[in-house]
Amino acid sequence: MSGFASKRRLIVRYDGGQLAEEEDEIALEFPLTVMVNGEEFATIVCTPAHLDELVIGFLASEGVIRTCSDIKGMTIDGERGFAYVELAACGLPAKQFYAKRFIGSCCGKSRQFYFYNDAKTAKTIVGGITVKADDCIRLMKALHERSTDFAATGGLHNAALATPDEMVVIRSDIGRHNALDKLYGYCLRHQVAMKDKLIVFSGRVSSEVLLKAAKMGVSVLLSKSAPTTLALDLADELGITVVGFLRGQAFNVYTHESRIIIG
């Protein structure tokens, strides 16, 4: 399901010393409880668009599935806020590696860090693609131009999967990590290879964002915003090129700079 990213609401706007009523576009915030084989696995606070991709990408990122063939059936109940997933195999991995948790939409520490499944599913990138500096700038401009939901609300993060030449798919969400899970889910559903792609991203590069890129097998992450120290430590270790503060004609290359080609 595609769903909606926003809804209109009557507000009072102050401008030039005057108050006036007008309609504004507000980003939707929606709790989705994921049930796996009849057990509650997690509640994700998200934007209710592309929920099927979100669930698939989230379960893959958490190490519950590897491909869409691991899912026997999935039903999204958008009215009640539930996703029901039936796995093709016996069930969830050992409970000592998975705790029931609340995945918030906020950009702080919404979940515990470095679960066993992070170590199991994050890939060390060997090789990877190279990207021209001019293409980095062009791709970030393209993300900005195509981020219509952000332009309408100012309250969403945007993430795109791209080749050095063009955008493949763009997804938006109130949660940075959710936008990446939607990309991951899209790729798994449509069998899109990720090793020859890069991620173009509007938000801060946290450790969680970096780990999601590693789990997808992407070697280059371009961001308009800043990275954190832990994200860069992980990028060094996992072989991922992190480009940050990509704005206008300038950017910073924080790790594995050999993949960025000048001239």
3-state secondary structure of 214: helix
3-state secondary structure of 227: strand
Which is it for strands 260-261 and 131-132: parallel, antiparallel or unpaired?
Answer: parallel
For residue 219, what are the contacts with CB-CB under 8 A and spacing of at least 6?
Answer: 125, 127, 128, 129, 195, 198, 239, 240, 241, 256, 259
Q: Which of 106, 107, 136, 187 is catalytic?
A: 107
Tokens encoding 134: 């001019």
240, 263 in Cβ contact below 8 A?
no
**Is there a catalytic annotation at residue 136?**
no
CB atoms within 10 A of CB 145: 9
253, containing H or E segment: strand 250-253
For residue 152, report the phi and psi dihedrals to the nearest 5 degrees: -75, -35
First to last CA, the chain: 42
Residues with a catalytic annotation lie at 107
